Amino acid sequence: MKLFIDAGNTRLKWCLDDQGRTLASGTGLLEEENPVSSAGELISQVRSVAISTVASEERRAHLLDSLAKLCPVPVQFYWSEQTRNGLVNAYQDVARMGADRWHAMYGAWLDHKQGFVVVDAGSAVTVDYVDSRGQHLGGYILPGLQMMLRSLRTDAARIWFDPEQGLATDPGSSTGECVNHGLAWLSGAMVERVIADAREHSLADVLVTGGDANRLIGLGLSGIHRPDLVLSGLRAIHAEETSE
Ligand SMILES: Nc1ncnc2c1ncn2[C@@H]1O[C@H](COP(=O)(O)OP(=O)(O)O)[C@@H](O)[C@H]1O
Ligand SMILES: CC(C)(COP(=O)(O)O)[C@@H](O)C(=O)NCCC(=O)O
Ligand SMILES: [K+]
Protein backbone atom coordinates (compact mmCIF):
# COMPACT_ATOMS: atom_id res chain seq x y z
CA MET A 1 0.00 0.00 0.00
CA LYS A 2 1.23 3.50 -0.85
CA LEU A 3 0.66 6.75 0.99
CA PHE A 4 0.33 9.94 -1.08
CA ILE A 5 0.56 13.33 0.59
CA ASP A 6 -0.18 16.87 -0.61
CA ALA A 7 1.24 19.12 2.10
CA GLY A 8 0.11 22.72 1.62
CA ASN A 9 0.71 25.79 3.76
CA THR A 10 -2.46 25.20 5.81
CA ARG A 11 -3.42 21.54 5.59
CA LEU A 12 -2.10 18.19 4.56
CA LYS A 13 -4.24 16.02 2.27
CA TRP A 14 -3.47 12.30 2.11
CA CYS A 15 -4.73 9.14 0.45
CA LEU A 16 -3.88 5.46 0.66
CA ASP A 17 -3.50 3.68 -2.64
CA ASP A 18 -3.53 -0.03 -3.35
CA GLN A 19 -2.60 -0.68 -6.98
CA GLY A 20 -4.37 2.45 -8.20
CA ARG A 21 -7.42 2.05 -5.96
CA THR A 22 -8.09 4.61 -3.23
CA LEU A 23 -8.57 2.78 0.07
CA ALA A 24 -8.88 5.82 2.31
CA SER A 25 -8.25 9.55 2.29
CA GLY A 26 -8.29 12.43 4.73
CA THR A 27 -6.74 15.67 5.93
CA GLY A 28 -4.43 16.67 8.76
CA LEU A 29 -2.16 19.42 10.00
CA LEU A 30 1.58 19.42 9.28
CA GLU A 31 2.62 20.44 12.78
CA GLU A 32 0.73 17.67 14.50
CA GLU A 33 2.72 14.83 16.03
CA ASN A 34 0.88 12.49 13.66
CA PRO A 35 -0.30 14.48 10.64
CA VAL A 36 -1.98 11.39 9.15
CA SER A 37 -3.71 10.29 12.37
CA SER A 38 -7.01 10.03 10.49
CA ALA A 39 -5.53 7.04 8.60
CA GLY A 40 -5.50 5.08 11.87
CA GLU A 41 -4.12 1.55 11.85
CA LEU A 42 -3.93 1.40 8.06
CA ILE A 43 -0.66 3.31 8.27
CA SER A 44 1.15 0.13 9.37
CA GLN A 45 0.49 -1.38 5.91
CA VAL A 46 2.17 1.49 4.03
CA ARG A 47 5.24 0.38 2.03
CA SER A 48 6.20 3.71 0.42
CA VAL A 49 5.32 7.41 0.61
CA ALA A 50 5.17 10.00 -2.19
CA ILE A 51 4.85 13.70 -1.34
CA SER A 52 4.04 16.96 -3.12
CA THR A 53 4.72 19.92 -0.88
CA VAL A 54 5.03 23.71 -0.83
CA ALA A 55 5.75 23.89 2.91
CA SER A 56 8.97 25.43 4.28
CA GLU A 57 12.09 23.30 4.63
CA GLU A 58 11.56 23.33 8.41
CA ARG A 59 8.03 21.96 8.13
CA ARG A 60 9.11 19.49 5.47
CA ALA A 61 11.80 18.16 7.85
CA HIS A 62 9.22 17.91 10.62
CA LEU A 63 6.94 15.91 8.32
CA LEU A 64 9.81 13.55 7.47
CA ASP A 65 10.51 13.04 11.20
CA SER A 66 6.84 12.31 11.94
CA LEU A 67 6.65 9.83 9.05
CA ALA A 68 9.87 8.09 10.08
CA LYS A 69 8.33 7.41 13.49
CA LEU A 70 5.00 6.22 12.05
CA CYS A 71 6.19 4.06 9.18
CA PRO A 72 9.91 3.68 8.43
CA VAL A 73 9.57 3.21 4.65
CA PRO A 74 11.09 5.02 1.63
CA VAL A 75 9.78 8.56 1.10
CA GLN A 76 9.98 10.26 -2.29
CA PHE A 77 9.33 13.95 -2.93
CA TYR A 78 8.07 15.09 -6.32
CA TRP A 79 8.69 18.62 -7.61
CA SER A 80 7.75 20.78 -10.59
CA GLU A 81 9.05 19.73 -13.97
CA GLN A 82 9.71 21.33 -17.36
CA THR A 83 7.53 18.89 -19.26
CA ARG A 84 5.69 15.60 -18.91
CA ASN A 85 3.61 13.62 -21.36
CA GLY A 86 2.83 16.64 -23.56
CA LEU A 87 2.28 19.15 -20.73
CA VAL A 88 4.82 21.99 -20.92
CA ASN A 89 5.59 24.38 -18.07
CA ALA A 90 5.71 28.12 -18.93
CA TYR A 91 8.27 28.79 -16.18
CA GLN A 92 11.89 29.15 -17.26
CA ASP A 93 12.98 28.25 -13.76
CA VAL A 94 10.59 25.39 -13.00
CA ALA A 95 12.19 24.72 -9.62
CA ARG A 96 10.53 27.95 -8.47
CA MET A 97 7.02 26.75 -9.23
CA GLY A 98 5.07 25.29 -6.32
CA ALA A 99 4.92 21.52 -6.75
CA ASP A 100 1.17 21.61 -6.01
CA ARG A 101 0.56 23.73 -9.12
CA TRP A 102 2.44 21.37 -11.42
CA HIS A 103 0.80 18.29 -9.95
CA ALA A 104 -2.67 19.85 -10.18
CA MET A 105 -2.02 20.81 -13.81
CA TYR A 106 -0.81 17.31 -14.61
CA GLY A 107 -3.84 15.77 -12.88
CA ALA A 108 -6.03 18.03 -15.04
CA TRP A 109 -4.07 17.37 -18.24
CA LEU A 110 -4.72 13.63 -18.07
CA ASP A 111 -8.50 14.10 -18.27
CA HIS A 112 -8.95 17.47 -19.99
CA LYS A 113 -7.04 17.67 -23.24
CA GLN A 114 -9.17 20.49 -24.65
CA GLY A 115 -7.51 23.22 -22.63
CA PHE A 116 -8.27 24.11 -19.05
CA VAL A 117 -7.94 26.49 -16.15
CA VAL A 118 -6.90 25.24 -12.71
CA VAL A 119 -8.02 27.40 -9.80
CA ASP A 120 -6.49 26.25 -6.50
CA ALA A 121 -8.09 28.21 -3.66
CA GLY A 122 -5.88 27.27 -0.72
CA SER A 123 -3.72 29.38 1.61
CA ALA A 124 -2.93 31.31 -1.55
CA VAL A 125 -5.12 31.27 -4.65
CA THR A 126 -3.41 30.14 -7.82
CA VAL A 127 -4.83 30.29 -11.33
CA ASP A 128 -3.10 28.45 -14.18
CA TYR A 129 -3.98 28.29 -17.86
CA VAL A 130 -3.12 25.33 -20.12
CA ASP A 131 -4.13 25.21 -23.78
CA SER A 132 -5.18 22.21 -25.88
CA ARG A 133 -1.57 21.61 -27.01
CA GLY A 134 -0.58 21.13 -23.35
CA GLN A 135 1.24 24.47 -23.25
CA HIS A 136 1.02 26.18 -19.87
CA LEU A 137 0.24 29.79 -20.77
CA GLY A 138 1.21 31.02 -17.30
CA GLY A 139 -0.78 31.87 -14.22
CA TYR A 140 -1.46 34.09 -11.24
CA ILE A 141 -0.75 33.90 -7.51
CA LEU A 142 -3.08 35.85 -5.23
CA PRO A 143 -3.52 36.01 -1.46
CA GLY A 144 -5.95 33.36 -0.23
CA LEU A 145 -9.35 34.24 1.21
CA GLN A 146 -8.33 33.63 4.84
CA MET A 147 -5.02 35.36 4.21
CA MET A 148 -6.82 38.52 3.05
CA LEU A 149 -9.07 38.60 6.11
CA ARG A 150 -6.09 37.96 8.38
CA SER A 151 -4.11 40.83 6.88
CA LEU A 152 -7.03 43.23 7.36
CA ARG A 153 -7.35 42.15 10.97
CA THR A 154 -3.65 42.37 11.80
CA ASP A 155 -2.51 45.32 9.67
CA ALA A 156 -5.40 47.77 10.19
CA ALA A 157 -5.89 49.03 13.76
CA ARG A 158 -9.62 49.83 13.59
CA ILE A 159 -10.97 46.92 11.61
CA TRP A 160 -12.89 44.48 13.81
CA PHE A 161 -15.17 41.87 12.33
CA ASP A 162 -16.35 38.29 12.54
CA PRO A 163 -15.45 36.42 9.38
CA GLU A 164 -18.44 35.02 7.50
CA GLN A 165 -18.70 32.61 4.61
CA GLY A 166 -21.58 34.56 3.00
CA LEU A 167 -21.92 35.29 -0.68
CA ALA A 168 -23.48 38.78 -0.40
CA THR A 169 -21.68 41.39 -2.50
CA ASP A 170 -23.89 44.47 -1.98
CA PRO A 171 -22.23 47.52 -0.40
CA GLY A 172 -21.88 46.98 3.36
CA SER A 173 -23.07 49.34 6.09
CA SER A 174 -20.98 48.05 9.00
CA THR A 175 -17.31 47.08 9.29
CA GLY A 176 -18.26 43.40 9.27
CA GLU A 177 -20.42 43.76 6.16
CA CYS A 178 -17.84 45.92 4.37
CA VAL A 179 -15.11 43.34 5.01
CA ASN A 180 -17.14 40.19 4.33
CA HIS A 181 -19.04 41.57 1.34
CA GLY A 182 -15.78 43.12 0.11
CA LEU A 183 -14.05 39.75 0.05
CA ALA A 184 -16.98 38.14 -1.79
CA TRP A 185 -17.09 41.09 -4.22
CA LEU A 186 -13.34 40.86 -4.93
CA SER A 187 -13.47 37.07 -5.28
CA GLY A 188 -16.48 37.41 -7.61
CA ALA A 189 -14.51 39.86 -9.76
CA MET A 190 -11.66 37.36 -9.96
CA VAL A 191 -14.12 34.66 -10.99
CA GLU A 192 -15.39 36.90 -13.82
CA ARG A 193 -11.83 37.46 -15.03
CA VAL A 194 -11.11 33.73 -15.02
CA ILE A 195 -14.26 33.01 -17.04
CA ALA A 196 -13.45 35.79 -19.53
CA ASP A 197 -9.83 34.59 -19.93
CA ALA A 198 -10.96 30.98 -20.44
CA ARG A 199 -13.20 32.18 -23.28
CA GLU A 200 -10.47 34.36 -24.79
CA HIS A 201 -7.88 31.55 -24.77
CA SER A 202 -10.45 28.88 -25.80
CA LEU A 203 -9.89 26.82 -22.64
CA ALA A 204 -12.80 24.40 -22.44
CA ASP A 205 -12.80 23.43 -18.77
CA VAL A 206 -12.39 25.13 -15.41
CA LEU A 207 -11.19 22.86 -12.60
CA VAL A 208 -11.46 24.07 -9.04
CA THR A 209 -9.62 22.68 -6.03
CA GLY A 210 -8.46 23.79 -2.56
CA GLY A 211 -10.22 24.44 0.74
CA ASP A 212 -12.09 27.50 -0.55
CA ALA A 213 -13.22 25.89 -3.83
CA ASN A 214 -16.87 25.79 -2.78
CA ARG A 215 -16.82 29.46 -1.86
CA LEU A 216 -15.59 30.40 -5.35
CA ILE A 217 -18.13 28.07 -6.96
CA GLY A 218 -20.81 29.79 -4.86
CA LEU A 219 -19.56 33.11 -6.23
CA GLY A 220 -20.16 31.99 -9.81
CA LEU A 221 -17.09 29.99 -10.77
CA SER A 222 -18.92 27.34 -12.78
CA GLY A 223 -16.46 24.51 -13.07
CA ILE A 224 -15.58 20.99 -12.08
CA HIS A 225 -14.79 20.59 -8.38
CA ARG A 226 -11.76 18.30 -8.01
CA PRO A 227 -10.69 18.37 -4.33
CA ASP A 228 -8.14 15.61 -5.10
CA LEU A 229 -6.50 17.25 -8.14
CA VAL A 230 -2.96 17.61 -6.69
CA LEU A 231 -3.02 14.03 -5.38
CA SER A 232 -4.29 12.78 -8.78
CA GLY A 233 -1.36 14.34 -10.60
CA LEU A 234 1.10 13.11 -7.98
CA ARG A 235 -0.24 9.55 -8.17
CA ALA A 236 -0.02 9.53 -11.96
CA ILE A 237 3.56 10.82 -11.95
CA HIS A 238 4.60 8.35 -9.27
CA ALA A 239 3.05 5.49 -11.28
CA GLU A 240 4.89 6.60 -14.43
CA GLU A 241 8.21 6.92 -12.61
CA THR A 242 8.02 3.59 -10.82
CA SER A 243 6.83 1.51 -13.81
CA GLU A 244 9.95 2.37 -15.84
N1 LIG B 1 -11.13 22.39 7.86
C2 LIG B 1 -10.45 23.42 7.36
N3 LIG B 1 -9.29 23.79 7.94
C4 LIG B 1 -8.58 24.82 7.45
N5 LIG B 1 -8.96 25.54 6.37
C6 LIG B 1 -10.09 25.23 5.77
C7 LIG B 1 -10.89 24.15 6.21
N8 LIG B 1 -11.94 24.05 5.37
C9 LIG B 1 -11.82 25.03 4.47
N10 LIG B 1 -10.72 25.77 4.71
C11 LIG B 1 -10.30 26.90 3.88
O12 LIG B 1 -9.31 26.35 3.03
C13 LIG B 1 -8.16 27.17 2.96
C14 LIG B 1 -6.96 26.25 2.91
O15 LIG B 1 -7.13 25.41 1.81
P16 LIG B 1 -6.16 24.21 1.54
O17 LIG B 1 -6.46 23.77 0.17
O18 LIG B 1 -6.21 23.21 2.62
O19 LIG B 1 -4.77 25.00 1.62
P20 LIG B 1 -3.28 24.56 1.44
O21 LIG B 1 -3.24 23.68 0.21
O22 LIG B 1 -2.58 25.85 1.25
O23 LIG B 1 -2.87 23.84 2.68
C24 LIG B 1 -8.18 28.03 4.19
O25 LIG B 1 -7.68 29.28 3.85
C26 LIG B 1 -9.65 28.07 4.57
O27 LIG B 1 -10.25 29.24 4.08
C1 LIG C 1 1.54 29.71 -4.52
C2 LIG C 1 1.63 28.70 -3.38
C3 LIG C 1 2.01 29.42 -2.11
C4 LIG C 1 0.26 28.02 -3.19
O5 LIG C 1 0.36 27.13 -2.11
P6 LIG C 1 -0.89 26.75 -1.16
O7 LIG C 1 -1.79 27.91 -1.09
O8 LIG C 1 -1.58 25.59 -1.86
O9 LIG C 1 -0.33 26.33 0.15
C10 LIG C 1 2.65 27.58 -3.73
O11 LIG C 1 2.33 27.00 -4.96
C12 LIG C 1 4.06 28.09 -3.74
O13 LIG C 1 4.70 28.22 -2.72
N14 LIG C 1 4.59 28.41 -4.96
C15 LIG C 1 5.93 28.89 -5.13
C16 LIG C 1 5.96 30.05 -6.08
C17 LIG C 1 5.46 29.74 -7.48
O18 LIG C 1 4.64 28.83 -7.69
O19 LIG C 1 5.90 30.46 -8.40
K1 LIG D 1 -3.22 27.16 -3.56
Average pLDDT of adjacent 10-residue blocks, the chain of 244 residues: 98 96 96 93 96 97 95 97 98 98 98 98 98 98 97 93 93 97 97 98 98 96 97 98 84
85 C-alpha to ligand 3 centroid (Å): 23
CB of 124 shorter than 6 A to ligand 2: yes
Indicate if ligand 2 lies below 6 Å from the C-beta of 211. Answer: no
Query: Which residue, 49, 51, 50, 52, is CA-closest to 72?
Result: 49
120 is in an annotated binding site: yes
What's the confidence (pLDDT) of residue 228? 97
Q: Is the CB of 141 under 6 A from ligand 2?
A: yes
Ligand 3 centroid to 45 CA: how many Å? 30
The whole-number pLDDT of residue 113 equals 97
CATH says 112-229 is which class?
A: alpha beta
pLDDT of 176 reads 96
**CA geometry: angle 224, 229, 235, nearest 5 deg:** 145
Residue 101 annotated as part of some ligand binding site? yes
DSSP lists the bridge partners of residue 178 as: none
Residue type, 169: T
- Ligand 3 centre to CA of 21 (Å) is 26
The Cα–Cα gap between 146 and 74 comes to: 35
Q: Per-domain residue ranges for the chain?
A: 2-77, 112-229
Q: Is 212 a catalytic residue?
A: no
To the question of whether residue 59 is assigned a binding role by annotation, the answer is no
> Ligand 3 centroid vs 98 CA: distance in angstroms?
9
CA distance linking residue 26 with residue 47, whole number of Å: 18
* CATH number 1.10.10.10 is the correct assignment for the domain at 2-77: no
- State phi, psi for 4 to the nearest 5 degrees: -110, 135
The number of beta carbons lying within 10 Å of the beta carbon of residue 239 is: 14
2-77 against 112-229: fold identical:
yes
Task: Note the pLDDT of residue 244.
Answer: 56
Taking the CA of residue 210 as reference, the ligand 2 atom at the shortest distance is: 8
Residues in contact with ligand 1 (CB, 6 Å cut-off):
8-11, 122-123, 144-146, 210-212
CA-nearest of 19, 26, 62 to 43 is 26
Q: 7 labelled as ligand-binding?
A: yes
Q: Which of 17, 65, 93, 100 is catalytic?
A: 100
